Amino acid sequence: MSADDKRNEQVDEHNGVDETAAAEQQAQSGQAESGEGSELEVLKAQLQEYQDQALRAQAEMQNVRRRAEVDVEKAHKFALEKFVKELLPVADSLEKAVESTEGHESAGELVASIRQGVEMTLSLLLGSLKKFSVEQINPVGEPFDPQHHEAMSMVPAPDAEPNSVVAVVQKGYLLNGRVVRPAMVVVAKADSAPKIDEQA
């Protein structure tokens, strides 16, 4: 074998080694790229999941804050409810005192001055209650409303509309629009109402 043949053989071997090395390098870089690609997808999916969790946590916090604000607002609006309930019998008693003096104007100056004092006291009490958003329910002539009225009985009343309030046994009260005590009322019975067989 001549020197030229040997040289050519060595060059071919060297080129073969270079080609093999290049092919291996390409394969490795391809694997690295595909490994990096799948790792990138995993990281993107994790990032999306964490973002979703953060948004859910933020929405939950806003809901909790809103609920707390509503609870505090209700606590402020209706904190006086128990106190108002305790004062209502006082207002009832003063009203009964005024009613008991009606028709006794001829009884003398003493009765008239007592009545005047009781009326002024009742007026002061109702005025104070009104300052704190307490309203009186006195529904004579109004249609019966089960949300605000409690029917004590039904009576025939030809002059009144059926199912309207003809008398108030005890006035009701509202605190900020919410019923503290319903009005106890007598309701007009409709003429066509079926008669109850009392003997049955």
Residue with tokens 């005047």: 116
Task: Provide the mean pLDDT of the chain.
Answer: 81
Do 75 and 101 sit in the same domain of this protein? no
Output 22 or 119, whichever has higher pLDDT: 119
Per-residue model confidence (pLDDT) at position 158: 81
pLDDT in tens, 31-83: 545 556 788 899 999 999 999 999 999 999 999 999 999 888 888 778 888 89
Distance CA 164, CA 141 (A): 6
Six-digit token string for 159: 């002059």
The mean pLDDT value for 158-187 works out to 91
Do 71 and 105 sit in the same domain of this protein? no
Percent of the chain scoring above 90 in pLDDT: 46
Q: Which of 46-50, 148-152, 155-159 has the lowest mean pLDDT?
A: 155-159
Do 56 and 10 sit in the same domain of this protein? yes
**Domain at 164, CATH number:** 2.30.22.10
Residue with tokens 């009260």: 173
Do 96 and 148 sit in the same domain of this protein? no
Last residue of a domain, one of 112, 132, 152: 132
Do 70 and 93 sit in the same domain of this protein? no
Do 165 and 187 sit in the same domain of this protein? yes
Do 110 and 59 sit in the same domain of this protein? no
The verdict on residue 139 lying in a domain is yes
Do 166 and 121 sit in the same domain of this protein? no
- Tell me how long the chain is: 200
Overall number of domains in the chain: 3
Do 62 and 30 sit in the same domain of this protein? yes
| The pTM of the whole model exceeds 0.75 | no
Per-residue model confidence (pLDDT) at position 180: 93
Do 73 and 2 sit in the same domain of this protein? yes
The verdict on residue 199 lying in a domain is no
Q: Are 141 and 154 in contact (CB under 8 A)?
A: no
Q: Is 172 helix (H, G, I), strand (E, B) or coil?
A: strand
Do 49 and 6 sit in the same domain of this protein? yes
Contacts of 137 (CB under 8 A, 6+ apart): 148, 149, 171, 172, 173, 174, 179, 182, 183
The verdict on residue 11 lying in a domain is yes
Which domain, by its residues, includes 161?
Answer: 135-193
The verdict on residue 200 lying in a domain is no
